[in-house]
Amino acid sequence: MTGRVEHLYVHVPFCAHRCGYCDFVTAVGRREEHAPYVEALLVELALERELLAPELKTVFVGGGTPTFTESRALARLLESLPAATEVTVEANPETVTAELGRLLRRHGVNRVSLGVQSFRPHLLRTLERRAGPDDVRRAVYHLRDASFDNISFDLIYGIPGQSASDLDRDLSEALALEPEHLSCYELEAKRGTRFTYAHGQELAAQAETMEAYYERVVETLTTASYRWYETANFCRSEARDLRARHNLAYWSGSDYLGIGLGAVSTVGGRRSRNTARLSLYTGPLMRGARPAREVEALPEAVRRRERVMLGLRLDEPLPLAGVRGALDDAALARLERGGLLTRAPADGAAVDEAISLTARGRFLAGGVAAELIA
Ligand SMILES: C[S@@+](CC[C@H](N)C(=O)[O-])C[C@H]1O[C@@H](n2cnc3c(N)ncnc32)[C@H](O)[C@@H]1O
Ligand code: SF4
């Protein structure tokens, strides 16, 4: 039997060091566990394979730092994954060598998401990052040399001590390297992290400044001809559609299978999350059994709300068919009067078939979506 899920997420949790602001599912070091972990992943993939469509649209290998994984284990993983139209691997700049670039390319990877975060050494120190600006430049050089033509940068703004001119420098240094795609995230104080303990109050105090920083990010990148296609995501748009297909699948409510430590899947109206404890993950898989996981039903009402919350982050109209029951009509009218959204006919059909946020609405997308949901 073959399934219909066209998007696969693979979590590889190992990192050289735990950055203070990060709350992703990670494990520091543990080189001797990389190969057994990959074997466990492949057992999980085999157990879930029947959910997957014969041809996948996207595979995303995220972390953690997938490119920190011991290279034979990484090669074994990549060569065992199903092919897909878009295959992305997350990489930290200091891990990217000429050899790694070739290894990724040889194994069908066609997109790399590089965790740049900032080019300013004092801000990188605050974030406890290992890579400096020269590592980023070197990584891009190696990836281009390995003929990668789809590179994305992750940038973070709102780092304590970051001035507006620091932000401008970060954006112009990023643009100078001509990435096809950029994700720009406001630094979030994640509960329970070292960073939040040390800097949580500073982050809370700068919330208003961050609105101006966000506007500066959008202004700079759109002026440089990047398409602002999602709240925090931008891509070049001259020749190809370079939006992140994998993330677009999440944002538009498609089903996806996630394998690996702590990985989340949404398939057939159910959401499951694998255990985040390494031994509880690998132990059962070594015996051929599924790992511990939490499963919840996703009632249609919840799915509709998610489609509104996520769909409004995109720069394309959100069709009302299928989400109408989730919307508060009075709020819809109020937001329209307030100039935050417009209703548009879709292909000359009914007047209110789709809604779009105005530019001002997009800066306030989270609040608009929250108000709109009945
Ligand atoms: C799961 S991380 C993994 C990527 C890679 N290991 C790295 O550190 O670059 C993916 C991205 O999430 C973003 N991120 C992680 N923690 C964040 C936080 N507290 N606030 C905002 N963005 C965060 C960073 O931009 C990071 O590149
Ligand atoms: S930010 Fe990236 S490198 Fe740092 S701990 Fe998190 S996943 Fe690992």
State the closest ligand 1 atom to the C-alpha of 15, by its place in the atom list counted from 1.
Answer: 6
The answer, yes or no, to whether any atom of ligand 1 lies below 6 A from the CB of 92, is yes
For ligand 2, atom 6, the nearest C-alpha belongs to: 22
Strand partners, 84: 56
Average pLDDT over residues 303-316: 92
Distance CA 293, CA 281 (A): 9
The answer, yes or no, to whether any atom of ligand 2 lies below 6 A from the CB of 18, is yes
| Residue 14 pLDDT exceeds 70 | yes
The answer, yes or no, to whether any atom of ligand 2 lies below 6 A from the CB of 144, is no
pLDDT tens-digit map of 222-258: 999 999 999 999 999 988 999 999 999 999 999 999 9
> CA nearest 77: which of 32, 131, 40?
40
The CA 318 to ligand 1 mean position distance, Å, reads: 28
Query: 43 exposed, middle or buried (CB, 10 Å; 0-12, 13-18, 19+)?
Result: buried
| Residue 351 pLDDT exceeds 60 | no
pTM of the complete model: 0.95
The answer, yes or no, to whether any atom of ligand 2 lies below 6 A from the CB of 185, is no
State the closest ligand 2 atom to the C-alpha of 17, by its place in the atom list counted from 1.
Answer: 5
| Residue 212 pLDDT exceeds 70 | yes
Ligand approaching nearest to the C-alpha of 185: 1
Which stretches within the chain are classed as H helix?
31-48, 71-80, 98-106, 121-126, 133-145, 164-176, 194-205, 207-223, 245-251, 278-286, 300-311, 329-337, 359-363, 365-372
Residue 337 burial (CB count, 10 A) = 9
Angle, CA 248 vertex, CA 332 and CA 49 arms, to 5°: 130
Our CA dihedral for 345, 351, 354, 358, rounded to 10 degrees, sits at 80
Average pLDDT over residues 299-309: 91
pLDDT tens-digit map of 137-196: 999 999 999 999 999 999 999 999 999 999 999 999 999 999 999 999 999 888 888 888
The CA 17 to ligand 2 mean position distance, Å, reads: 7
The answer, yes or no, to whether any atom of ligand 1 lies below 6 A from the CB of 94, is no
Report the pLDDT value the prediction gives residue 264, as an integer from 0 to 100.
Answer: 98
Percentage with pLDDT > 70 across the chain: 98
For ligand 2, atom 5, the nearest C-alpha belongs to: 18
List of residues 6+ apart from 164 with CB closer than 8 A = 212, 213, 216
The whole-chain average pLDDT of the chain stands at: 93
- Pocket residue to mutate for ligand 2, from 24, 95, 125, most atoms within 8 A of Cβ: 24
Domains, the chain, with CATH or none: 7-250 (3.80.30.20), 300-372 (1.10.10.920)
